[in-house]
Structure 1
Amino acid sequence: MSAVQMPPAQKAAVNGIELAYYEVGPRRGVPVVLCHGFPETAFSWRHQLKALEAAGRWAIAIDGRGYGLTSRPPRVEDYDMEHLTGDLVGLLDHLGVEKAIFVGHDWGGFVVWQMPLMHPDRCAGIVGLNTPFQVRLGMDPIALFRKVYGDEMYIVWFQTPEEPDALLAQDVEKTMRFFMRAGEGLKPESQPQTQGRSSFAFGETLKRYDPKADQRQLLSDEELAVFVEAFRRTGFTGPINWYRNFTRNWQRSEGLPQRIDHIPCLMITAEHDPVLRPSMADGMGEHISDLETVMIEGSGHWTQQEKPDEVNRVILGWLGRRFPG
């Protein structure tokens, strides 16, 4: 089977947009909804879709708002957490199901951890891949990132209109090769330092990056081409707009619960992820009543693509224990 095969894309009119999704397995039981991160698409879940289908599970991977074949609304505010979680609720309504098990990696992880806080009645279970559950910060996260890491830190830089969008789109293949590196490919020691810590200055590092000298590529040429084609068509503005709502999301989350109770949760960390370090998941048990935690050894940030067999084994084992049949 080709490494780039995916189920046929389907479209659902949800929450004011057209959401593209890729579905496998029989439509019975509780669906598993897979939410990708930045800069990815539903294609990043190709290995998990195959494994879930083989296990007889109903599984759905989405192209997030602004990505892939999903709509790209024009306003920055159209990408706030209320819209991102609302898209998932709309998908369940479209499918005619009450609840789902939501699995999220990277930015998708931030979204799925908000589902039990904003829409608890639609959550059967939550799986965070690399991305931990974190309680609301005591200050605006962008102000905090700027204070600790400086203006060049990528999340702070992404608040700049147009400039990061244009740089990432200037050479999409180079951009995707820069991000999609295995193991410690995004190790912070390679980044400029601010106040003694890595600034994760991805913009400046991307400008200097030479993909020909990089031996840490994660994807085959065939797999890379899928992502390159997608982002050449869509650009990066929609995806970056998710980051441009950090402050807005923080402001609008005041008053939300800070605990997850009575919903089974699984946290999967990756040993060598420099962005979402395993230690960031420490203490999650204080805020989640039903939590299992597993580390994937030897993996960098792109865990479901880098260590698919290990990720599949952990997720299927947890599903078998918590959602048998």
Structure 2
Amino acid sequence: MNLSAFPDPTLIPVNGIELEVFEAGRDNAGNPIVLCHGWPGHASVWRHQVSALVAAGYHVIVPNQRGYGNSSRPDDVTAYDIEHLSGDLAALLDHYGYSNATFVGHDWGANVVWGLALLHPDRVDKVINLSLPYQERGETPWIELMEAVLGGDFYFVHFNRQPGVADAVFDEYTYQFLRNLYRKNEPPRQPQPGMAFIDLARAETPLGDPVMSDDELAVLVSAFEASGFTGGVNWYRNLDRNWHLLADVDPIVHQPTLMIYGDRDMIRKSETLADFVPNADVVTLECGHWIQQEKPAELNHAILSWLQQQDTARRR
């Protein structure tokens, strides 16, 4: 699907805010699948998946989640915790009259889908997550743990301990940051002191190869020039709050799940996935982090093959 064929958006009131939602395949009503982008993303990162899913019989719903695009951007940092983010998706199902749906998440979107499966398990029929595996809730809040192990310059920690600093740099260098970030086939680099994403935003020369055309990148740049980056970064600023909110929740994801990794992704595979997601199948594709852009045909095949297997097994 090229950008000219991407669905037009609609603003939908949910959960006390508005979400900008791109919808396709309404003729397939009754078979919903919701695609959830990551950071710093946009609904259009799923452009290669929409038409394939519609052709396979799915009603495809692709929101810009709160903080992104033309969706609402509340000022309160706590408005971006996992209760709000998962509540938005549950309310989106209410809007369409669905009791549940298959949810697909990438990066931070995967984190929200994991949270949705824990907090609203009856609303999730199947889970398909890309890049980010299930994050075990240990004895120490996540940001505290990251700070102790990875230091104050690690971007999760920096976003929390120096609020507003990184946001301002990303806003100043929006095009440069997104151009430098959405790459593949990058040469190995030695870790450098300082906050890596701030350095990336200021780097004049990108490394590796782009994963988007100039027109596709322009959609993201335009969206973030209008919205700024603070809404999305505020998701990170709720990690420790999320840790507390999930304290008394059943930590097991019981739904059938497909976990898709890129074998060159910097995010490590989970060694405990089966402990917390016992019904998980795992697929690894030859790519980096931006799976939807790097391997669109292979990703579509993996998703649709798995969904067909699940439907066949359910009919038996």
Q: TM-score, normalised by structure 2?
A: 0.94
Over 3 Å counting, the alpha-carbon distance change for 1:11 and 1:94 in structure 2 is same
Query: For residue 249 of structure 2, what is the aligned residue in structure 1?
Result: 256
Query: For residue 282 of structure 2, what is the aligned residue in structure 1?
Result: 293
Using the aligned pairs only, state the percent identity.
41
Which deviates the most, 19-28 or 151-160? 19-28
Give the drift of 1:144. Answer: 1.3
Query: For residue 22 of structure 1, what is the aligned residue in structure 2?
Result: 22
Flag structure 1 segments of 5+ consecutive residues without an equivalent: 194-198
User: Within 5 Å, which residues of 2 pair with 1:138-287?
Assistant: 138-159=139-160, 160-184=162-186, 189-192=189-192, 201-207=196-202, 209-211=203-205, 214-261=207-254, 263-274=255-266, 276-277=267-268, 280-287=269-276
The letter for the 2-side match of 1:219 is M
Residue 302 of structure 1, aligned match among 279, 290, 297: 290
Could you report, residue by residue, the CA deviation over 1:42-92 in whole angstroms, capped at 9, with x for unpaired residues? 000010112111222111111010101211111000000000000000000
Aligned residues: 311
Query: For residue 37 of structure 2, what is the aligned residue in structure 1?
Result: 36
Residue 319 of structure 1, aligned match among 292, 296, 307: 307
Give the drift of 1:3. Answer: 4.1
The letter for the 1-side match of 2:231 is G
CA distance in 2 between counterparts of 1:31 and 1:217 reads 32
Flag structure 2 segments of 5+ consecutive residues without an equivalent: none
CA distance in 2 between counterparts of 1:29 and 1:308 reads 25
RMSD, aligned α-carbons = 1.7
Give the drift of 1:33. Answer: 0.3
CA distance in 2 between counterparts of 1:169 and 1:200 reads 16
CA distance in 1 between counterparts of 2:289 and 2:151 reads 22
Q: TM-score, normalised by structure 1?
A: 0.91
Give the drift of 1:184. Answer: 4.1
Give the drift of 1:292. Answer: 0.7
Give the drift of 1:258. Answer: 1.4
Give the drift of 1:215. Answer: 4.0
CA distance in 1 between counterparts of 2:181 and 2:103 reads 25
Contact 2:186/2:208, CA 8 A, preserved across alignment: no
